[in-house]
Amino acid sequence: MHTIVNQEQWVAQRKELLVREKELMRQQDQLASARRALPWVRVDKQYVFDTPQGKRSLADLFEGRSQLVVQHFMFAPGQERGCAHCSYMADHTDGALAHLAQRDVSLVVVSRAPLASLERMRKEMGWQFKWVSSGESDFNYDFHVSFAPEEMAEGEVYYNYTGQAFPHEDAPGVSVFYKDDAGVVYHTYSTFGRGVEVMMHTYRFLDITPLGRNEEGLPYTMAWVKHHDRYAQPAASCCSASHA
C-alpha cells in the first residue's frame, strides 16, 4: 500500500523533492561542463566505412558539420538482426536529427555487419538515420566496442575503461568526435555500460512514473526490451546494459 495524503501534504513533500531535483540538475550541468573540458585525442588513423553513398572516411561522416555522435550498434557479420537493446537506443534517434543539425551535430550509427544487412534491418524497423558498416576497418576494435577472438578466449576484454568478462563479441557504446576547419578529426568522448542511457529517452519517462522502470525481479536489466516490431512474441537476449 502506497502512502495516501491530502493535496496540501503532497505539495509539501513535492517541494522538498524539488529542492533535490534542482540540486541534481546543477550537478548535471557541472558534470557536462567537465565533460566538455576533457582533452581531445587526434585521430590520425584512416577508417573507411561502407555507406549507401559508397566508401566514406570518418571525416566524411560529419556531413559538413563540426561535431559527430556515433552510436556503436551491436550487429556482427553473420547475425540475422542487430541487438534489441541497441535497437531500443536507436528508436529514439530519428526525431532528434533535425534538432542536432541545428546545433552543428551529425549522428551516425555504426556496426560491423555488411551494409546490405544494415539497410535491410533499417527498412524493416522504419528508421531514417544513416547506418554505416565498419566491417572492413579496425574502428570498432580501436574504440573498444568489438573484441578479437583471442580476447574473448582469455575471458576478459577491455570495456568501459576496465578489464572485465563480457558475453558478446560486440558491445554498446556512444562516441563523440570533433572536426576542425583544417579537416583534422579528434576523439572527444566515449561512454559505455549504463552511460548509453543517454540515448534511451523512454527511461526518462519511466523514471517519473509510479512503477518506474519496474525491472526488479527480471533475469537481467532490460530483459523486457525487444525489437519494437516484436513485442507480441518472445525475443532472445543479445546484450545487457547491466555491464557497467
Q: State the pairing for strand pair 162-164/131-133.
A: unpaired
Q: Helix, strand, or coil here: 27?
A: helix
Cell representation of residue 120: 535491410
Tens of pLDDT, residues 21-46 = 999 999 999 999 999 999 999 999 99
Residue type, 167: P
In a domain, 62, yes or no: yes
pLDDT at 238: 56
Residue 234 has pLDDT above 90, yes or no: no
In a domain, 103, yes or no: yes
Residue 102 sits in a domain whose CATH number is 3.40.30.10
Domain count, the chain: 1
What CA–CA distance (Å, rounded) separates 126 from 97? 15
Amino acid at 175: S
Can you give the pLDDT at residue 243? 45
72 in a structural domain: yes
**131 within a domain of the structure (yes/no):** yes
Which structural domain, as residue segments, surrounds residue 65? 41-206
Query: pLDDT at residue 239 above 60?
Result: no
242 within a domain of the structure (yes/no): no
What average pLDDT does the segment 117-143 reach? 97
**Whether residue 13 has pLDDT greater than 50:** yes
Residue 4 lies in a domain: no
Give the three-state DSSP class for 182: coil
What is residue 11's predicted lDDT score, i.e. its pLDDT? 98
pTM for this model (two decimals): 0.91
pLDDT in tens, 194-221: 999 999 999 999 999 999 999 999 999 8
Within-domain flag for 85: yes
- Establish if 49 belongs to a structural domain: yes
Average pLDDT along the chain = 94
